[in-house]
Structure 1
Amino acid sequence: MTGLRLPSSLRHALPTIAATLSLTLALSALPHAGYALTEPEKNQPVVNDKADSPDAQPDPDASEDELLEEQKQGIPMPDGLINKKNDKTVVPDDKADAPEIPTEFIHDLSKLPEPVKKLRVALVEAAASGDIERLRPLMGTGEEQTQISIGDAPEDPIAALKSLSGDPDGREIMAILLDILSTSAAHIDKGTANDQYVWPYFAEKSLDALTPPEQVELYRIVTASDVSDMKEFGSYNFYRIGISPDGKWKFFVAGD
């Protein structure tokens, strides 16, 4: 059987027709291929590019719920204002920096400053007179009034002194004042606002370090039983007197 014979003109056109048909089919398939490449799969999560960006900032117009949702998606919260790693509070230790001022014990009372010597003599003369009222003008007034008790200042310091004495006229307390002023003095806190001369010097010295002559001086003021109690307490705690370098009577108190 003889095959179908095409005209020669048609045979020469067949390659051109085949090429045109292939190009047409290829162009018609391009939209579908592009869609397949760009369309995300239904089960894949959507990536938030803004959340992953280090420069991303919260939307100022967003609601609170939207901001919370953005935080969950990875927006970093701003750092605190305080760097806790470097937040170290340094408390200055004034006591550690302040040099210790040694106490000076003055056994030769003629070496006391002139204002201190003058007030000491006046106190001795007033106490020896037996008239406690002679102490009043030496006590000062207002903020400079002599402290005679621990706590609030009494309205009448002389009446308060009488109440401390074993007799109604205050002569026992004047005898104690005389005995204390007969001992050596201790110069404490020299050059500071608390600079003063203190009697008896036992008040600024360890009782266990007293020499035999110094112990005799102490027994002139208190009994052996009192000394034993003081050692148990840790220091001298009987009456003591303080005078400032400018000759003001600062205190006359008992206790620590």
Structure 2
Amino acid sequence: MLDLRYALRVAAAAASLLSFATAALAFSQIDPGEGGEPTAKEGIIAVPLPPLDDAPEREAQGNVEGPQPEPGPADEPAPAAADQPAEAVPPAGPAAPPAGPPAPPAHELQEPASPSGAAAIGTAEPVRYGEDELPRPVRDLRRKLMEIARTGEVEKLRPYLETGAEPTVLTFGDTPDDPIAYLKEASGDGEGAELLAILLEILESGYAHAEAGSDAEIYIWPYFVQANLEALTLSQKVELFELVTAGDYEAMKSFGAYNFYRAGISPEGRLEFFVAGD
């Protein structure tokens, strides 16, 4: 009887050990779950799974956890503008009003490029500058007289001072026998240099084209000879004061005309006068 009880206890203990071993083996094969790495157990070989065929495509899409959902209506591309109904495009609104008054024509925006155009001086003849509008004989003589004036040698004027029945007017008195001797005597320095300086100054100023188309046609420097001195602008007064003083200007207004030196050249290129007074 004692042996039978002992044998039953041994059998029960063996069965209990076998059950515990089986449970331990099953527990070692359970995945630890998310966030953990499986722990290798003795006697168990871990075999890696082969990569999925569509893994690169899903990685490019930023999701390798599973297949992508089918595109729905919200994922479909919007139709092109040409496919949209006409009412979907808003009609153009009215043009914006201009920011200011319309710009004037281009010719009204242009400033006078240089003193070569005409300007009003309170007289019928406009003011002109430079030589662009001068006839060639007038232009050539003007250039020559200015060249001589710059040398300071009054004797070089002799070939251009007419004598005889229609002499170049140098004075409102008697015609001098020797025009060069007269110019030297009338010049403040006694050598004619002062008068050459005056000749240069007036030929560099603006001029008037008087009596155009008639036998008396002439080009006159400075234009003040033909101007209304009471109507001069400030800028024109500056031009005048390059030739005379403000005191001279007041005296001229009292006299009623410009009475300083002036020069006149005919259309044929003849020096008609170089004279002061009136």
What is the aligned partner in structure 2 of residue 203 from structure 1? 225
3-state SS of 1:128 partner? helix
- 1:1-256 aligned within 5 A: 102-256=124-278
**Cα RMSD (Å):** 1.4
Cα shift readout 1:215-247 (whole Å, capped 9, x = no counterpart): 111000000100010011111100000000110
- Is this contact kept in 1: 2:185–2:191, CA < 8 A? no
Amino acid at match of 1:178: L
Q: How far does residue 128 in structure 1 lie from its aligned partner after superposition? A: 0.7
Q: Distance in 2 between matches of 1:222 and 1:237?
A: 10
3-state SS of 2:250 partner? helix
Amino acid at match of 1:187: H
Amino acid at match of 2:140: K
Q: How many residues align?
A: 156
Seq. identity, %? 49
Q: How far does residue 163 in structure 1 lie from its aligned partner after superposition? A: 1.2
Q: Greater share of helix residues, 1 or 2?
A: 1
Which ranges of structure 1 fall in alignment gaps of 5 or more residues? Answer: 1-100
Amino acid at match of 2:204: S
3-state SS of 1:160 partner? helix
Amino acid at match of 1:128: R
Q: How far does residue 108 in structure 1 lie from its aligned partner after superposition? A: 4.1
Amino acid at match of 1:156: D
3-state SS of 2:132 partner? helix
Q: Distance in 2 between matches of 1:141 and 1:178?
A: 22
Q: Distance in 2 between matches of 1:233 and 1:189?
A: 24
Cα shift readout 1:98-146 (whole Å, capped 9, x = no counterpart): xxx9424222422111110000000000111010001111112322421
3-state SS of 1:169 partner? coil
Question: If you compute each CA radius of gyration, which structure gives the higher value, 1 or 2?
Answer: 2
Cα shift readout 1:155-206 (whole Å, capped 9, x = no counterpart): 0001111111101211011111111111011011112221100000011001
User: Where does structure 1 differ by over 2 angstroms across 4 or more consecutive aligned residues?
Assistant: 101-105
3-state SS of 2:173 partner? coil
Q: Distance in 2 between matches of 1:108 and 1:160?
A: 29
Q: Distance in 2 between matches of 1:127 and 1:108?
A: 17
- Is this contact kept in 1: 2:130–2:204, CA < 8 A? no
- Is this contact kept in 2: 1:109–1:184, CA < 8 A? no
Cα shift readout 1:76-101 (whole Å, capped 9, x = no counterpart): xxxxxxxxxxxxxxxxxxxxxxxxx9
Superposition TM-score, scaled by structure 2 size: 0.54
Which ranges of structure 2 fall in alignment gaps of 5 or more residues? Answer: 1-122
